[in-house]
Structure 1
Amino acid sequence: MAGADPRRWWALGALALALLALGFDLTILNVALATMSRELDAGTSELQWIVDSYVLVFAALLLPAGLLGDRFGRKRMLLVGLAVFGAASVGGALAGTPGWVVAARVAMGVGAAVLMPLSMSILPTIFPPEERTRAIAVWTGSMALGLPLGPLLGGWLLEHFWWGSIFVINVPVVVVAMGAIALLVPESRDPARPSLDVPGALLSITGLAALVYGVIEGPVAGWSDPGVVGALAAGVVLLANLVVWESRARQPMMNLALFRDRRFVWSAAVTTAANLMMAGILFVLPQYLQVVLGNDAFGTGLRLIPMLLGLLVGAVLTDRLAARTGHKPIIVSGMAVLGAGFGLGALTDPGGGYSYTALWLTVLGVGLGLTMVPAMDLVISLLPGGEVGRDSGLVQTLRQTGSALGIALLGSLLSQLYRDRVETAGLPEAAADAVRDSVGGAAAVAQRLGDDALLASAREAFVHGMNGLLAACAGLTAVMAVLALAFLPGRRAGRDAAASGDGRQSTHAHAAD
């Protein structure tokens, strides 16, 4: 504690503010799509790319972005990332065509790809080991807080201002975060100042872009579509070549030695799986709360808060217990609680109200907090201090790829179960296609036709699909809990890992000249 930076908690607040903007930016756009479609004359494909272009660029650039922080300075690159994100937000607000919005979202993805790994990489350089779990809980919670804030803010802004206000809201947050980071966050970098691995960067960017593109397009075009199969195959081949290249490179961009450590492999697997399932849940919940339970965008955001409160409870419990029990018991217990939440959710009654939903959302949140915070703490404790930017990029790449997979795979499962159950007999072909496409489309058709039976069928079919999705998540959680129990090293190994990681950090991490 003697050598700890006295400004560290204020610095964490600055980082949390930046992540808060990223969090609500992931969900705020969804409530504005209908308005943007009308005012920009954007079709379904254009709306899809307004959403997906951000995710695609974000995931593809995480690996090289982390390395840039190690070379040029993490604080400096954080400020660059925030500036890009803020400028792109202004561009999005001023857009007059769908293509312009897509370009702005691409630039926002570039800024976010810099912000995410470098904000994480700064934590072990300013916090001593005994405070790191709490710092990670704040770091995790700040982005989670932004998720329900997105619909709340978006709904309020659209009621009072034009659709571009959902981009403008980022600007004051970015300006304040930049000022706070400039004043409070110390500069740090890798003493070796690693050079950019250009072949590795190209392989990672193209490979991840192809893989994520295939994952995004799969539920839309079909998993057997030649374009989807080709993109997925190209992604796998390029990423396999990346691994081969990195194993031979003199200054690799990716630290493959981490994958020889069981502690890193299984803690990273846990947090990636948790991200996958959380992304799937956040995809399905707004539709359930809006179309099935009949809430508006603002009300939907409010009703996501129990999951956030549960996550904060789980994070606080982790902070209190980690020093006494180690990481493994908390992670395994957290996955058990998470599985229980998914199991409760899978029993949702189509005619039930929100009170039961609030219950299982709270349990889910507690499980997420007990799972993700200690797993991330263990991952960070294993990263070499000087190279923590590069390795944070690797961790965040795994997590964000998990998120993309969660939305695609769990979304596909939901869609299949919904289509198999919804009734479309007697409807015109165009109307039947709209009903089968989504529960939102079904609600629109039912309203236009005044068909209450169709709306009831669509809602029942959607809840059936959601229950299947939640049951699949419960099964995956159970498998991961068993694997973590069997293969994740216990308390002594966790302590050794933390000591080893902190030793590396104290050896390599330093304030920049």
Structure 2
Amino acid sequence: MVTVTQVDGVRRDPRRWWALGALVASMLVLGFDTTILNVALPTMARDLGASTGEQQWMADAYVVVFASLMLPAGLLGDRFGRRRMLIAGLAVFLAGSLAGALADGVTPVILARAVMGTGAALVMPLAMAVLPSLFEPDERTKAVGAVSAASALGLPLGPITGGWLLDHFWWGSVFLINVPMAAIGITACVFLLPETRDPASPKVDVLSTALTAAGLGLLIYAIIEAPSHGWGDPLILGLFAASAVLIALLVVRERRAVRPMLDLSLLAQRGFLLNTLAATLVMFVLSGLMFVLPQYLQAVLGHDAFATGVRMLPMMGGLLVAARGAPPVVAKFGPRAVISSGLVVLAFAALLGSRTSVHDGYGFTALWLSIAGAGFGLAVVPAMDTALGALPRDRAGSGSGLLMTVRQVGGAIGIALLGSLLASAYADRLDTSALPHAAAGTAADSVVGAHVVAAQLGDRALAASANAAYVHGMGLVLLVSGIAALVTALAAAALLPNPEPVRTPQDGNPDMVSAPEDAGQ
């Protein structure tokens, strides 16, 4: 029988730290996979002949499915058991990874990524949903920080491991490595995570799920295809209109439902809404940056896959340090100040990075990457923790599902919109006037394709033009990201509520208890 300890009148489950370990293992798998594919994309583009648009789909198939299924996944966990659904999600993720390793073309890779997104949709919201039921407010910031840091820890491990695999094996190995990691996560959940559920949660609405998936899918498709067709093309405008209609139908249906799956009433809570939007903006910038950066390091600076992974460490290091240091800073100054400061730091890093020129070495890149990582860490952990803290416990599943859905939508739009901005700017600047039509099309598809054509033709001028065009496009992406982060920082400083910080014994209040240092015991 499990003994529940009581501190200051609050009942605490002693298994909560072991349970947190299981959640950390699960989130580590998702974080690992996020960046391992980004490093592999240039290699896959060369081996599979994938254009920039197809690379965007290889990245976005995962994110779109992830975002579309997050809400029903959270409800399934509430209703049938969060541990059970976490294990199921990791198993689906494992199967998708195995399929990706065996894929032999762009379409099978996209389908495998969609399967992986289905599994991730079950894992992500449920990992967050169990935290309010396991931890009291004085410990929850540390718990959210640990889960977020686990996902972040996978980010630097992904590029380094993926780079090493790509240097020694075929590109499918970046999928295959997920199989033992997912198996470890499943084992940890089976033996360490207690079962929690909320049988009174709403049922999964199949029609609302379909409207969500279709609406988001059409929106992302329109953004990705717009550079090649033109933003004013009737097909693109029609796709945007259809997406708007589907999303409007979803909102109307959910507002009329007695027990809605998409609980829009949660957005009426100012703290939840504004903190969710802040976390979403951070995800928008992070996803776009992680898409453009590996191609710059590999194609423009000429590093191999492993060296690319190592050179992404400054951003990951800044993120981890800031995420770890955020809780005590929030306790002293409040979440509003920390979130706003993090966004300002992020804006400064992006604007600094937008000044990158084709002649700059890696040192300048490492500088602004480190600053960007610190901004990410300072902004995202307090925003997510404060948003979750604004939710009633009995709506943890649906609320965290909504939070993670909006965040992932921000990530998907970040990849699509910033990737499309990059593709348009690159194609406009690239000089292909001396190339045959077929070679010009390949070069315009991606900077990797341009370097392949340049190597085949011995055309150094084409390689130089491709590098300059790509750096120009990356600069525009970073400029837009910086402006968006700065505007959000100002809005956060003006509008975010600032709940009273949780005091700890160090603050001189012996009645409040902070998370124990022996968290693993």
For the criterion TM > 0.5, the same-fold answer is yes
Matched ranges for 1:259-270 at <5 A: 259-270=267-278
Aligned position for 1:511: none
Which of 110, 135, 149 matches 1:141? 149
Matched ranges for 1:184-263 at <5 A: 184-263=192-271
> Given that residues 69 and 390 in structure 1 are in contact (C-alpha distance below 8 angstroms), is that contact kept between their aligned partners in structure 2?
no
Aligned position for 1:171: 179
Matched ranges for 1:88-127 at <5 A: 88-95=96-103, 100-127=108-135
**In the TM superposition, what is the alpha-carbon distance from 1:276 to its structure 2 partner?**
0.6
| CA spacing shift, 1:163–1:435, aligned 2, 3 Å | closer
Q: Indicate whether 1:441 and 2:440 are aligned.
A: no
Aligned position for 2:401: 393
Which of 60, 79, 88 matches 1:71? 79
Deviations 1:382-416 (A, max 9, x none): 12212211121111111111111111221222223
Which of 35, 49, 67 matches 1:59? 67
Aligned position for 1:370: 378
SS of structure 1 residue aligned to 2:12: coil
| CA spacing shift, 1:51–1:128, aligned 2, 3 Å | same
Q: Within 1, Cα distance between the matches of 2:164 and 2:179?
A: 17
AA partner of residue 480 (structure 1):
T
Deviations 1:35-61 (A, max 9, x none): 66788x776587665544323322221
**In the TM superposition, what is the alpha-carbon distance from 1:189 to its structure 2 partner?**
1.3
Aligned position for 2:35: 27
**In the TM superposition, what is the alpha-carbon distance from 1:330 to its structure 2 partner?**
0.3
Identity, % of aligned positions: 52
Q: Indicate whether 1:431 and 2:439 are aligned.
A: yes
Which of 335, 339, 348 matches 1:340? 348
Deviations 1:165-184 (A, max 9, x none): 32221121111111111221
AA partner of residue 382 (structure 1):
A
Which of 411, 415, 424 matches 1:416? 424
AA partner of residue 131 (structure 1):
E
Q: Within 2, Cα distance between the matches of 1:196 and 1:471?
A: 41
Q: Within 2, Cα distance between the matches of 1:342 and 1:111?
A: 32
Q: Indicate whether 1:405 and 2:413 are aligned.
A: yes
Q: Indicate whether 1:274 and 2:282 are aligned.
A: yes
**In the TM superposition, what is the alpha-carbon distance from 1:225 to its structure 2 partner?**
4.0
Deviations 1:58-79 (A, max 9, x none): 2221121111111111111111
> Given that residues 75 and 201 in structure 2 are in contact (C-alpha distance below 8 angstroms), is that contact kept between their aligned partners in structure 1?
no
Aligned position for 2:472: 464
Q: Within 2, Cα distance between the matches of 1:356 and 1:491?
A: 38
Q: Within 2, Cα distance between the matches of 1:460 and 1:4?
A: 58
Alignment RMSD (CA, Å) = 2.5
**In the TM superposition, what is the alpha-carbon distance from 1:193 to its structure 2 partner?**
4.1
Q: Within 2, Cα distance between the matches of 1:336 and 1:50?
A: 31
> Given that residues 64 and 213 in structure 2 are in contact (C-alpha distance below 8 angstroms), is that contact kept between their aligned partners in structure 1?
no
| CA spacing shift, 1:53–1:316, aligned 2, 3 Å | closer
Deviations 1:450-475 (A, max 9, x none): 23233223222222222222121111
> Given that residues 124 and 385 in structure 1 are in contact (C-alpha distance below 8 angstroms), is that contact kept between their aligned partners in structure 2?
yes
Aligned position for 2:460: 452
Q: Within 2, Cα distance between the matches of 1:437 and 1:38?
A: 11
| CA spacing shift, 1:6–1:201, aligned 2, 3 Å | same
Q: Within 2, Cα distance between the matches of 1:102 and 1:470?
A: 27
Which of 13, 25, 28 matches 1:5? 13
Q: Gapped runs of 5+ residues in structure 1?
A: 496-513
> Given that residues 92 and 167 in structure 1 are in contact (C-alpha distance below 8 angstroms), is that contact kept between their aligned partners in structure 2?
yes
Q: Within 1, Cα distance between the matches of 2:120 and 2:228?
A: 25
SS of structure 1 residue aligned to 2:130: helix
Aligned position for 1:322: 330
> Given that residues 291 and 419 in structure 2 are in contact (C-alpha distance below 8 angstroms), is that contact kept between their aligned partners in structure 1?
yes
| CA spacing shift, 1:402–1:160, aligned 2, 3 Å | same
**In the TM superposition, what is the alpha-carbon distance from 1:83 to its structure 2 partner?**
1.3
Q: Gapped runs of 5+ residues in structure 2?
A: 1-5, 503-521
Q: Within 1, Cα distance between the matches of 2:26 and 2:146?
A: 12
| CA spacing shift, 1:431–1:151, aligned 2, 3 Å | same
AA partner of residue 392 (structure 1):
S
Which of 370, 387, 390 matches 1:382? 390
Q: Within 2, Cα distance between the matches of 1:33 and 1:491?
A: 43
Q: Within 2, Cα distance between the matches of 1:314 and 1:281?
A: 18
Q: Within 2, Cα distance between the matches of 1:219 and 1:47?
A: 14
Deviations 1:296-328 (A, max 9, x none): 111111111110110112112211111121100
> Given that residues 224 and 419 in structure 2 are in contact (C-alpha distance below 8 angstroms), is that contact kept between their aligned partners in structure 1?
no
**In the TM superposition, what is the alpha-carbon distance from 1:146 to its structure 2 partner?**
2.2
> Given that residues 328 and 485 in structure 1 are in contact (C-alpha distance below 8 angstroms), is that contact kept between their aligned partners in structure 2?
yes
| CA spacing shift, 1:29–1:333, aligned 2, 3 Å | closer
**In the TM superposition, what is the alpha-carbon distance from 1:351 to its structure 2 partner?**
0.8
Q: TM-score, normalised by structure 1?
A: 0.89
> Given that residues 89 and 123 in structure 2 are in contact (C-alpha distance below 8 angstroms), is that contact kept between their aligned partners in structure 1?
yes
Which of 360, 369, 381 matches 1:352? 360
Q: Within 2, Cα distance between the matches of 1:438 and 1:88?
A: 27
Q: Within 2, Cα distance between the matches of 1:42 and 1:345?
A: 29
Deviations 1:100-126 (A, max 9, x none): 544433322211111111111112221
> Given that residues 45 and 449 in structure 2 are in contact (C-alpha distance below 8 angstroms), is that contact kept between their aligned partners in structure 1?
no
> Given that residues 30 and 154 in structure 2 are in contact (C-alpha distance below 8 angstroms), is that contact kept between their aligned partners in structure 1?
yes
Q: Within 2, Cα distance between the matches of 1:163 and 1:310?
A: 28
**In the TM superposition, what is the alpha-carbon distance from 1:275 to its structure 2 partner?**
0.6
| CA spacing shift, 1:8–1:422, aligned 2, 3 Å | same
Aligned position for 1:501: none
**In the TM superposition, what is the alpha-carbon distance from 1:20 to its structure 2 partner?**
2.0
Q: Within 2, Cα distance between the matches of 1:8 and 1:81?
A: 21
